[in-house]
Chain A
Amino acid sequence: MNRHRKFLKLGLSAACLCAITSTAIAEDVIKIGLPVPLTGDFAAYNEVDGARCMAEMINRDGGVDGKKIELLIQDTGSDTQTAISLTEKFLGEGVVSLGTIPFSDTMIPVAQIAAANGVSIIQSQSTQVEMHSGVVDNFITNVAPDPYTAAAAANYALSQGVKNVAIFTSDEGGSWSARTPQWFAEVIEANGGKLQTTLNYASGTTDWSPQIAELKALDPAPDAVYISWAMPDIGILIRQMRSAGLDAWVVGSDGFDDPSLDALAGDDPTVLDKVFFGTLAPAVPGSRIEKFQQQCAEIGIEVNGLFPSLGADMVKIVAYGVEASGSSDPAAIRDAIRSADSIPVMSVEDISFKDTKSYALRSIPVIGFKDGKRVVLSQEIPQNVPSWP
């Protein structure tokens, strides 16, 4: 009987020791949960590589207040329900913030669940306006919403003498693909231009001939067409328009910001001469983003493209919140982030959420091409942004 009690005491002591040790370890680690799409339709939009690289860099420099950053990364398969399940799992593991599939139908339920634990959703690259309508209070995105990119692109178009425009809309990408073109057209019309027509399309369009025939039937021919969509569909549209003899500007949003668009210039650099897009951060030769990608390559982490790179900003924002609050309490971290005048990030010098609470009001770069190479055509925080919810 005594021996039995002895074993019981030993067992309890061991369990207590384990609990104390794991708490001590937990306090030495800042956990960031990333239930993100590593596979599936939205895999192109995850921020994992950039986040992993920045976490590695910070940890090599001793961490944040001596605490290492640990990324909990698991694949959602681009499925909302899986993202929710993984969110619950990561909350149980004590994450201080979460990033997930950057579309509102996932971000909203994930944010609602995380809110119960005081945890914030800190997205690297979400531009959808739905997230800023007050439906959740624990959402922060590293970039400016779509109306800003649309207005910046429209302002540059106006500076090039654009008057008549046609827009492509689709409901398949939410407000990003349906409303952003309309915001672009609103700015054009507010400055004396005209919206000639609105054309529809579906995701995965491999032949734009019907829409191009409609564009060709317009009189006068449009000066610019605007579409908020992604590669490779955009590349097909550009080439087919040029083949059909349409030389209107092709204008777009951050969906254009992909290295495979640049590859179109491989055979004929002139194909991109009249293409530009308003985007989230300036990923051009010589930029901070390019330097970051080179540094990552040196430590053996490949980071390609804008979207993955912006994961680094998210890690920097969380690190700032932990350092400024001196706490690992998620709510304190969020308050510190929102009250900061300036938070240093990778892609630009610094950002702030002080006035906006849920998004970083950045200077919007409009990127075009010269001899097939990216150039920043303009950079501004537009003052004439259309009203949005």
Chain B
Amino acid sequence: MDYVIQQVLNALSFGAEYALIALGLAIVFSIMGLVNFAHGEVIAFGGYSMIVVATLLTGNPWVLMIMVLAACVLIATVLERVAFRTVRGADLTTGLLTAFGVSIILQNLFLLLGSPRPMAATQFIFLDKTLTIGAIRVSSLQIYETVATVVAIIILLTFLRRTTLGIAMRAAALDFEMVRLCGIRANRVIAGAFAMSGLLAGLACIFIMARRGSVSPHMGFDPVLTAFVACVIGGFGSLPGAVLGGFLLGICEVAVQVLLPQSYGGLAQAVVFALVALILIWRPDGILSPAQEKGDKI
């Protein structure tokens, strides 16, 4: 029984990490229809910024956390201004290719200016303590991550429903031209979406660094690919869908890891994606796909 509870908690923890990154992808997609594959490099940028600040200024973990969040927001908005604004009117493929291009450029910059090998940054490891509840040992990081994801989506939904900028973002998702005609500055709306996406990347970066204790050039790319799948499962553009997709994917991964005989371990990813395919056969646009007629993205 303890084993089962332990694995359920593991599944929730996996899901929370995927959901947090998927939220960052979904918020940008819901506003401007861009699948931002450079989101992973925003996370990695947070990690490298942490090393720079820790080396040059302070190793205080709380200051570093704020710096990581700020660095991710900054790079996300800079990328929007430098790379994505210019292709805003282009079709989906152009945006996708731009995102991949930005991703590759940033990875290689990390590699050439930093190191191809992992660089140690252990300041956040203290977040990962073991809590014993009865016979169950739980990682404090798993709890923080799950709680942070839930809080993030509540704050996001409140922001999008209750604030002027949030409502403008939702309106922009519905009809961008009309929003501009109403006198709302489009650049501000989209930059706001990227800033929020950067904030979520920063949050994910803190948890990833707490677990890894090191940063490497490709650390963000694989999680973003997984988060992309989570978005597809949940319904691309839907914020609750991204969270649901993240948790479902986490549950699938842990279930396959546990239930599949080890001699078939090489098939784990194939089984996970077969399950994803089954979900998409049932709901081709994702489980919580946005209402097409109204165009409302949340």
Residues of A within 8 A of B (CB): 38-39, 41, 43-44, 46, 169-171, 197-200, 202-204, 206-207, 209-211, 213-214, 216-217, 231-232, 235-236, 239-240, 243-245, 258-260, 263-264, 266-267, 304-305
Chain A contact surface mostly:
mixed
Chain B positions 274 through 292: 1 when the CB is less than 8 Å from some CB of chain A, otherwise 0: 0000000000000000000
Tell me if B111 counts as interface (CB < 8 A to partner A): yes
Tell which of B126, B223, B266 has the most Cβ of chain A within 10 Å.
B266
A259 and B116 CA atoms in complex are apart in Å by 13
The interface residues of chain B lying within 8 Å CB-to-CB of A245 are 130, 137
CB pair A258–B118 under 8 Å, yes or no, is yes
Chain B positions 209 through 232: 1 when the CB is less than 8 Å from some CB of chain A, otherwise 0: 001111011110011000000000
28 examples of A-B residue contacts, CB within 8 angstroms: A38-B116, A39-B108, A43-B217, A44-B117, A171-B266, A199-B265, A200-B257, A200-B266, A202-B268, A202-B269, A206-B208, A206-B212, A207-B10, A209-B13, A213-B258, A216-B6, A217-B3, A231-B117, A232-B212, A236-B212, A243-B139, A244-B137, A259-B117, A263-B122, A263-B213, A266-B120, A266-B122, A267-B126
CB distance from B228 to the nearest CB of A (A): 15
CB distance from A267 to the nearest CB of B (A): 6
A215 and B228 CA atoms in complex are apart in Å by 31
The interface residues of chain B lying within 8 Å CB-to-CB of A267 are 122, 125-126
Residues of B within 8 A of A (CB): 3, 6-7, 9-10, 13-14, 17, 107-108, 111-112, 115-120, 122, 125-126, 128-130, 137, 139, 142, 208, 211-214, 216-219, 222-223, 254, 257-258, 262-263, 265-266, 268-269
A267 and B130 CA atoms in complex are apart in Å by 16
Shortest Cβ distance from B221 into A: residue: A204
A169 and B122 CA atoms in complex are apart in Å by 27
Tell which of A46, A170, A198, A207 has the most Cβ of chain B within 10 Å.
A207
The interface residues of chain A lying within 8 Å CB-to-CB of B262 are 197-200
Shortest Cβ distance from B217 into A: residue: A43
Nearest first, the 6 A-B pairs at minimum CB distance are A200-B265, A263-B120, A43-B116, A209-B10, A232-B214, A260-B118
The interface residues of chain A lying within 8 Å CB-to-CB of B214 are 231-232, 235, 260, 263
The interface residues of chain A lying within 8 Å CB-to-CB of B254 are 210
- Contact partner of A210 (CB less than 8 A), chosen from B7, B107, B263, is B7
CB distance from B118 to the nearest CB of A (A): 4
CB distance from B217 to the nearest CB of A (A): 8
The interface residues of chain B lying within 8 Å CB-to-CB of A232 are 118, 212-214, 216, 219
The interface residues of chain A lying within 8 Å CB-to-CB of B3 are 213, 216-217
**Contact status of A207 and B258, CB under 8 A, knowing A43-B116, A235-B212, A243-B128:** no
A216 and B129 CA atoms in complex are apart in Å by 17
A259 and B49 CA atoms in complex are apart in Å by 20
Tell which of B118, B218, B223 has the most Cβ of chain A within 10 Å.
B118
CB pair B142–A209 under 8 Å, yes or no, is yes
CB distance from B225 to the nearest CB of A (A): 10
The interface residues of chain B lying within 8 Å CB-to-CB of A259 are 117, 120
**Contacts A43-B217, A245-B137, A304-B115 known; 11 new A-B pairs at CB < 8 A:** A198-B263, A198-B265, A206-B212, A206-B223, A209-B9, A231-B117, A231-B118, A243-B139, A260-B117, A264-B213, A266-B122
The interface residues of chain A lying within 8 Å CB-to-CB of B115 are 304
A114 and B56 CA atoms in complex are apart in Å by 48
CB pair A239–B117 under 8 Å, yes or no, is no
A309 and B110 CA atoms in complex are apart in Å by 21
CB distance from B244 to the nearest CB of A (A): 20
**Contact status of A200 and B268, CB under 8 A, knowing A210-B7, A231-B118, A239-B128:** yes
A207 and B126 CA atoms in complex are apart in Å by 16
CB pair B258–A206 under 8 Å, yes or no, is no
A213 and B11 CA atoms in complex are apart in Å by 12
A260 and B219 CA atoms in complex are apart in Å by 15
The interface residues of chain B lying within 8 Å CB-to-CB of A211 are 257
**Contact status of A244 and B130, CB under 8 A, knowing A41-B218, A206-B211:** yes
CB pair A210–B257 under 8 Å, yes or no, is yes
CB distance from B61 to the nearest CB of A (A): 11
The interface residues of chain A lying within 8 Å CB-to-CB of B120 are 259-260, 263-264, 266
The interface residues of chain B lying within 8 Å CB-to-CB of A217 are 3
CB distance from A173 to the nearest CB of B (A): 12
A170 and B214 CA atoms in complex are apart in Å by 22
The interface residues of chain B lying within 8 Å CB-to-CB of A260 are 117-120, 214
A203 and B14 CA atoms in complex are apart in Å by 15
CB pair A243–B129 under 8 Å, yes or no, is yes
A43 and B108 CA atoms in complex are apart in Å by 10
The interface residues of chain B lying within 8 Å CB-to-CB of A39 are 107-108, 111-112, 116
A170 and B262 CA atoms in complex are apart in Å by 11
A277 and B285 CA atoms in complex are apart in Å by 48
CB distance from B258 to the nearest CB of A (A): 6
The interface residues of chain B lying within 8 Å CB-to-CB of A41 are 218
Shortest Cβ distance from B269 into A: residue: A202
A76 and B107 CA atoms in complex are apart in Å by 15
A207 and B18 CA atoms in complex are apart in Å by 12
Shortest Cβ distance from A214 into B: residue: B258
- Contact partner of B117 (CB less than 8 A), chosen from A244, A266, A305, is A305
Shortest Cβ distance from A43 into B: residue: B116
CB pair A236–B7 under 8 Å, yes or no, is no
